[in-house]
């Protein structure tokens, strides 16, 4: 079984040197990051009954799947979590390791896909952020991720809904009109409906606990959590 899409890996490998440039090809993810971090931190704190006032995830083990250059792995580690980041692109992993070393952060970066990850331990939290729309087989990918999650652990999935609106905004608008993303970043056929995501993970004993939309406010130039899941959405699952 294999979830790696070689074409997607090559696409992101070519852009690997730009991961940490807030004005480069990954500018949208830099804009995205604050709301992602806040959402993940608050939901982990609530689930594991951590003290919010400490703003710490100390003691929580996190697997960041499709970690890229480490845009999410680093803030999670800074919050105190024990972080392992995996990516199918060796170039992404090299950039992530270099940046973490430069910032004296202890993150375990590995070039691997979840089905080929040679780690015996399981994790409290798995992050699948903006990755399921880039894999070759969503079912194989999520099945493999599920096996790496502890009982009562959390899995976060952020992706793009498969709707006409998402085609118009996430592809035509973001790639061709506004040029926020390089043309060809996304393929509408690979977008995943929340219901399909829910059914795949239900078969792996993961139950949907929270589903929220993510909306970009052009006037404020920032992302917010919203009730509209027709384009970007984020879901929280718990393993029974």
Please state, as a whole number, how many other Cβ atoms lie within 10 Å of the Cβ of residue 180: 15
Question: Would you state the pLDDT for residue 178?
Answer: 75
Beta bridge partners of 239: 206
Helix (H, G, I), strand (E, B) or coil at 124: strand
pLDDT of residue 53: 61
Place of tokens 């015996």: 120
Residue whose token pair is 């970043």: 185
Q: What separation in angstroms does the CA of 14 have from each of 24, 32, 40, 71?
A: 13, 21, 29, 17
Q: Measured on CA atoms in the order 36, 42, 47, 52, is the torsion positive or negative? A: positive
Q: Is residue 44 within 8 Å of residue 74, measured between CB atoms?
A: no
Do residues 58 and 52 lie in contact, with contact meaning Cβ atoms separated by under 8 Å? no
Classify strands 222-226 and 149-160 as parallel, antiparallel or unpaired: unpaired
Query: How buried is residue 211: exposed, middle or buried, by Cβ count under 10 Å (0-12/13-18/19+)?
Result: middle
User: Which structural domains are found in the chain, ordered by start?
Assistant: 6-158+194-239 (3.40.50.150)
Q: What is the pTM of this model?
A: 0.95
Task: State residue 23's pLDDT score.
Answer: 94
Question: Tell me, what's the pLDDT at 175?
Answer: 84
pLDDT in the model for residue 218: 85
Query: What is the chain's pLDDT, residue by residue, as a tens digit (240 residues)?
Result: 799 999 999 999 999 999 999 999 999 999 999 999 999 999 999 999 887 666 699 999 999 999 999 999 999 999 999 999 999 999 999 999 999 999 999 999 999 999 999 998 999 999 999 999 999 999 999 999 999 999 999 999 999 999 999 999 899 988 888 788 888 889 999 999 999 999 999 999 999 999 999 998 989 989 999 999 999 999 999 999
């Amino acid at each position: 079984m294999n979830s790696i899409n070689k074409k997607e890996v090559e696409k992101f490998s070519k852009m690997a040197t730009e991961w940490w440039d807030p004005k480069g090809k990954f500018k949208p993810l830099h804009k995205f990051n604050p709301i992602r971090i806040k959402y993940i931190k608050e939901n982990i704190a609530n689930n594991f009954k951590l003290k919010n006032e400490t703003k710490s995830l100390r003691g929580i083990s996190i697997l960041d799947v499709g970690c890229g250059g480490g845009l999410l792995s680093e803030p999670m580690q800074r919050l105190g979590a024990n972080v392992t980041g995996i990516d199918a692109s060796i170039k992404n992993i090299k950039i992530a390791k270099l940046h973490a070393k430069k910032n004296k952060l202890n993150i375990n970066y590995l070039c691997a896909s979840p089905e080929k990850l040679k780690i015996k331990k399981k994790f409290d939290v798995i992050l699948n952020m903006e990755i399921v729309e880039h894999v070759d087989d969503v079912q194989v990918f999520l099945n493999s991720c599920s096996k790496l999650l502890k009982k009562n652990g959390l899995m976060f999935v952020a992706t793009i809904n498969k709707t006409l609106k998402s085609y118009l905004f996430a592809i035509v608008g973001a790639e061709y009109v506004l040029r926020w993303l390089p043309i060809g970043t996304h393929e509408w056929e690979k977008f995943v409906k929340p219901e399909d995501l829910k059914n795949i993970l239900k078969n792996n004993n993961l139950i949907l606990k929270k589903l929220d939309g993510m909306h970009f406010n052009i006037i404020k130039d920032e992302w917010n959590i919203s009730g509209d899941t027709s384009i970007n959405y984020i879901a929280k699952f718990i393993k029974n």
